[in-house]
Chain A
Amino acid sequence: MDIFNFNDDFKQRVNKIVKYVFPIGLVILVVYFYLSSASYEKKAVKLKFSGTVEEVVYDGKSFPLVTIKGEKYYLGSHFWNFEHQITVGDYMEKDSGRYLVKLIKRNGGKVIIFDNK
């Protein structure tokens, strides 16, 4: 069975609708994600924390959700690529108004900086 074996009338009717719906959908997609990204980045730059990492969970895109002093912080900015380097017991600090995140590793005290370069 050929899955392309549809009636030409049906194809034409669908394509008429597509002509109008597709560009509208495209504009909605672009505007929605432009606004949601800008909104998240504003939130990310405002984050302020310092302390020992009590828990860290990485999502499907490897962005971490860290718990510090009982508060959860989702570090999902595209200006940070933590590459699973944050582990429980590490020390992290970030000031509001900057992207710079300082990670001090538990073993050996190695300092790793993440920033919008």
Chain B
Amino acid sequence: MRYIVPDMLSLNYSATGAMIVGLGGGLSVNLITRGPHAGIYLTGNISIRVGVQVDRGLSGTRAWFTGNVEDISIDSYLDTGIDLSGAYYIGAAAFVSPNSQGNVSWYGITVGKAGFGASGGWGKTFLIKGWEFNSMFK
């Protein structure tokens, strides 16, 4: 079931500009679909990129937490993230969210955006605002 309905679904607006090196950034509305911290979270991210890529626009993400459902939280998704992104009219990216010792807590795929080229990115994701369903419906 977790593979059909992922642990997190996101709608992103982002842009990338890299000619050998560059920057990427964007805003996301994330829906954590299960676990005690299920809810809606607004996050931002910025990344340093290596490659040649120009793109911008809306994209959708499907992401999975690597541990048990009871331990899913937005916290483990924040901070460091590494991704590989490519665009050929439509864009696609794969990302992992590892901790300081390389242990991946989240991974996922993103599809959308318009542009061309490809780049790898290392960046930070930060929480802007979150609403947990548990608190919303109490």
Question: In the complex, which residues 69-111 of chain B have their Cβ closer than 8 Å to any Cβ of chain A?
Answer: 70-73, 75-80, 82, 84, 86, 88, 94, 96-105, 107
Give the complex CA separation of A20 and B98 in angstroms. 26
Q: Give the Cβ gap from A102 to chain B, nearest Cβ, in Å.
A: 17
Q: A22-B84, A36-B98, A40-B101 are in contact. Are A60 and B79 (CB under 8 A)?
A: yes
| Chain A residues in 8 Å Cβ range of B102 | 33, 36-37, 39-40
The stretch of B26-34, B112-120, B130-138 in contact with A is B112-120
Question: In the complex, which residues 71-87 of chain A have their Cβ closer than 8 Å to any Cβ of chain B?
Answer: 74, 76-81, 83
Q: Give the Cβ gap from B60 to chain A, nearest Cβ, in Å.
A: 19
Give the complex CA separation of A51 and B81 in angstroms. 33
Q: Is A1 an interface residue (CB 8 A)?
A: no
Closest to A12 in B: B116
Which of B65, B100, B124 has a CB less than 8 Å from the CB of A76? B100
B86 touches A83 (CB 8 A): no
Q: Is B52 an interface residue (CB 8 A)?
A: yes
A80 touches B71 (CB 8 A): yes
| Chain A residues in 8 Å Cβ range of B98 | 33, 36-37
| Chain B residues in 8 Å Cβ range of A29 | 82, 84, 94, 96
Which of B101, B104, B105, B117 has a CB less than 8 Å from the CB of A14? B117
A18 touches B101 (CB 8 A): no
Q: Is A41 an interface residue (CB 8 A)?
A: yes
B78 touches A15 (CB 8 A): no
Give the complex CA separation of A62 and B75 in angstroms. 6
Q: Give the Cβ gap from A24 to chain B, nearest Cβ, in Å.
A: 10
B66 touches A6 (CB 8 A): no
B70 touches A81 (CB 8 A): yes
Q: Give the Cβ gap from A31 to chain B, nearest Cβ, in Å.
A: 12
- The interface of chain B, by Cβ under 8 A from chain A, is 17, 52, 54, 56, 65-68, 70-73, 75-80, 82, 84, 86, 88, 94, 96-105, 107, 114-118, 120, 124
21 contacts between A and B (CB under 8 A): A6-B116, A18-B86, A22-B118, A26-B84, A29-B84, A33-B82, A33-B98, A37-B102, A37-B104, A40-B101, A40-B102, A59-B100, A60-B78, A61-B75, A61-B77, A61-B99, A63-B76, A76-B100, A76-B103, A77-B67, A78-B76
Knowing that A14-B52, A18-B117 touch, tell me 4 more A-B residue pairs with CB under 8 angstroms.
A22-B84, A25-B120, A59-B79, A80-B71
